[in-house]
């Protein structure tokens, strides 16, 4: 997967009109700017702080959904206005709206420059590093939403005790809308991580093509009679090219161990160009071809990279209720991609749901 594709994953700032946002948040005399994640009150302007994604501090912190904020420390407003329902509701709605904002939001799908122990010079993070970071972050967000859903009333009482019990259902609906907003932005195939599923589907199709080409190669190995070195090299080239075509494009979906195994097999195939004994050559190439095919076929087995991704995606877009239809399979999300069903089948979100 090229770095060019990663660049596409930088979030576009989602925009609602000022009128729409005011209709949602301004029922009590507040005005809000969709562009700046702010609400104006007669006594001052509430503006979400800038997010520092590396430091894990966020403008649209999920604590805002249950009243975990203060006029002075959170918004730098030196007022003594009571934290009443109308403000708790407005600011929860602001967090819901701005969760996907690039500057003040909670979601960070932008590629990063990183340094490592090998060199202090910044470099682009690899696809594998990007996948791991973004999916881990979304798992954390989804887990935080789950905690809020389970303990909303307790959290609200701790942070905004003046809010009446009768308002809790409407406030919880804001939490649910924020969660759905997070999922929708995450599922976007051009600006979220939806393109990861698209490329997982591409990988499945590429491996199907690999298997078809590999069967032809195996047949060539069987009938190879050693009369022409060109045929030998053509067979080996097919083994190498079939494997590299998948690995070069989709290496981030394989563990380092699996990649090393396949690279070793490719090198072993190359070494057969010098084998002089025909029977040994056929046996070696057949063994190598079988091993290559096995390594591709069991890509979902054990603790593979694909299974770990599937488990995370299943949790991020799921509800931890096995009786409910999974969102990944809906037309709204990825119902058009056969790999979505494979993700739900192979993924194991029990570890995440139990926390």
Torsion of CA 256, 257, 262, 266, to 10 degrees: 90
Query: Is residue 94 predicted with pLDDT exceeding 50?
Result: yes
Cβ burial, residue 257 (10 Å; 0-12/13-18/19+): exposed
DSSP state of 254: S
More confident of the two residues 29 and 168: 168
Query: Considering only 21-25, 39-43, 298-302, which range has the smallest mean pLDDT?
Result: 21-25
Three-state SS at 46: strand
Count other Cβ atoms within 10 Å, centred on residue 321.
9
Query: Is residue 178 predicted with pLDDT exceeding 50?
Result: yes
More confident of the two residues 35 and 112: 112
Count other Cβ atoms within 10 Å, centred on residue 302.
7
DSSP state of 47: E
Highest mean pLDDT (candidates 135-139, 270-274, 283-287) = 135-139
Query: Is residue 116 predicted with pLDDT exceeding 70?
Result: yes
What is the average pLDDT value for the chain, to the nearest integer? 85
> Six-digit token pair at 273?
């160009």
Residue 186 · residue 193 · CB < 8 Å: yes
pLDDT of residue 15: 29
Count other Cβ atoms within 10 Å, centred on residue 43.
12
Kindly provide the residue ranges of all beta strands, DSSP E only, lying in the chain, ordered along the sequence: 31-33, 38-41, 44-47, 113-116, 119-124
Q: Give 41's strand partners.
A: 44
Query: Is residue 77 predicted with pLDDT exceeding 90?
Result: yes
DSSP state of 57: B
More confident of the two residues 207 and 229: 207
The CA–CA distances, whole Å, from 116 to 108, 121, 122, 125, 329 equal: 21, 8, 8, 10, 38
Looking at the chain, the whole-number percentage of residues with pLDDT higher than 70 is: 89
Q: How many angstroms separate the CA atoms of 155 and 144, rounded?
A: 12
Query: What's this model's pTM, rounded to 2 decimal places?
Result: 0.79
Torsion of CA 64, 69, 74, 80, to 10 degrees: 140
């Amino acid at each position: 997967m090229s770095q060019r594709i990663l660049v596409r994953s930088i979030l576009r700032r989602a925009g609602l009109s000022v009128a729409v946002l005011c209709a949602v948040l301004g029922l009590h005399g507040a005005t809000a700017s969709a562009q700046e994640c702010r609400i104006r009150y007669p006594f001052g302007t509430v503006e979400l702080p800038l997010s520092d994604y590396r430091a894990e501090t966020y403008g649209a912190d999920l604590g805002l959904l249950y009243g975990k904020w203060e006029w002075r420390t959170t918004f730098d407003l030196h007022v003594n206005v009571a934290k009443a329902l109308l403000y708790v509701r407005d600011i929860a709605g602001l967090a819901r709206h701005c969760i996907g904002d690039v500057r003040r939001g909670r979601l960070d799908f932008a590629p990063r420059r990183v340094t490592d122990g090998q060199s202090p010079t910044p470099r682009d993070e690899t696809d594998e590093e990007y996948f791991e970071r973004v999916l881990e972050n979304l798992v954390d967000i989804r887990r935080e939403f789950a905690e809020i859903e389970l303990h909303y009333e307790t959290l609200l009482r701790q942070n905004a005790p003046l809010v009446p019990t009768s308002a809790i259902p409407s406030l919880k609906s804001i939490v649910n809308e924020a969660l759905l907003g997070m999922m929708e932005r995450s599922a976007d195939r051009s600006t979220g991580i939806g393109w990861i599923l698209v490329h997982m589907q591409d990988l499945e199709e590429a491996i199907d093509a690999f298997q078809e080409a590999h069967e032809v190669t195996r047949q060539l190995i069987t009938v190879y009679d050693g009369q022409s070195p060109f045929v030998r090299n053509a067979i080996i080239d097919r083994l190498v090219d079939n494997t590299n075509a998948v690995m070069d494009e989709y290496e981030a979906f394989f563990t380092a161990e699996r990649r090393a195994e396949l690279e070793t097999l490719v090198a072993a195939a190359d070494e057969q160009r010098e084998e002089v004994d025909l029977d040994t050559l056929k046996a070696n190439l057949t063994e190598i071809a079988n091993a290559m095919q096995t390594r591709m076929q069991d890509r979902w087995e054990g603790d593979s990279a694909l299974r770990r991704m599937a488990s995370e995606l299943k949790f991020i877009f799921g509800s931890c209720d096995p009786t409910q239809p999974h969102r990944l399979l809906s037309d709204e999300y990825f119902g058009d991609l056969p790999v979505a069903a494979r993700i739900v089948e192979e993924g194991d979100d029990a570890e995440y749901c139990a926390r």
